[in-house]
């Protein structure tokens, strides 16, 4: 199985880049992982937010294969413990999925079309974070999931 993270926006803060890159490096022995970073569309008029989300959504959907398993990160998604998340990844892997795609929207969220395409909607917390933090949290939790699944000592 290969993991792809489709994310809107560039990470500008060095501390976040370093953290994300560290966890991506740690994940690689377990499975290939890559980030597909897309440019968000600047919203110049708040009345056009939905139009922009739809355009971003079309861009995201064009990068997802029909047989990919898609997990979107959404406020209204289901919250999982680290152990439940590990089980979810294991379930997806043993089902024969070759391409697991996580989607992180912009600070304005995701297009409803992307949410509808999701096989699973995940919420990382009830708390509100900067959307750039979602990438770091997701990378760390993917790494933690593989450690759990392999019975290794990272997870406590």
Report if residue 154 sits inside a domain. Answer: no
In order of 9, 61, 89, 122, the CA distances from 76 in angstroms are 21, 20, 20, 8
Tell whether 156 is covered by a domain. Answer: no
11-53: pLDDT as tens digits: 999 999 999 999 999 999 999 999 999 988 777 777 778 888 8
- Confirm whether 155 is domain-assigned: no
Q: Is the distance from CB of 120 to CB of 71 less than 8 angstroms?
A: yes
Q: Any idea which of 1-10, 43-52, 82-91 has the lowest mean pLDDT? A: 43-52
CA distance 96 to 106: 30
69 lies in a domain? yes
Q: Which pLDDT score, from 0 to 100, does residue 57 have?
A: 94
pLDDT tens track for 64-82: 999 999 999 999 999 999 9
| Residue 120, in any domain of the structure | yes
The structural domain count of the chain equals: 1
- Find, among 30, 21, 20, the residue nearest to 147 by Cα: 30
CATH code, domain carrying 16: 3.40.1280.10
* Structural domain containing residue 57: 2-149
Q: Is residue 59, in this structure, part of any structural domain at all?
A: yes
Per-residue pLDDT, 155 = 60
Residue 100 is assigned to a structural domain of this protein: yes
**Percentage of the residues of the chain whose pLDDT score is greater than 70:** 99
Cα 26 to chain centroid, rounded? 17
């Amino acid at each position: 199985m290969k993991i792809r993270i489709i994310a809107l926006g560039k990470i500008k803060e060095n501390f976040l880049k370093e953290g994300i890159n560290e966890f991506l490096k740690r994940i690689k022995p377990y499975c290939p992982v890559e980030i597909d970073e897309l440019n968000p569309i600047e919203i110049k008029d708040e009345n056009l937010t939905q139009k922009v989300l739809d355009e971003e959504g079309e861009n995201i959907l064009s990068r997802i294969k029909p047989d990919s398993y898609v997990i979107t990160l959404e406020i209204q998604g289901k919250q999982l413990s680290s152990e439940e998340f590990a089980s979810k990844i294991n379930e997806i892997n043993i089902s024969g999925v070759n391409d697991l795609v996580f989607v992180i929207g912009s600070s304005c969220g995701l297009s409803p079309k992307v949410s509808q395409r999701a096989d699973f909607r995940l919420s990382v917390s009830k708390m509100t974070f900067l959307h750039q933090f979602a990438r770091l949290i997701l990378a760390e939790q993917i790494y933690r999931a593989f450690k759990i699944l392999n019975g290794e000592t990272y997870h406590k």
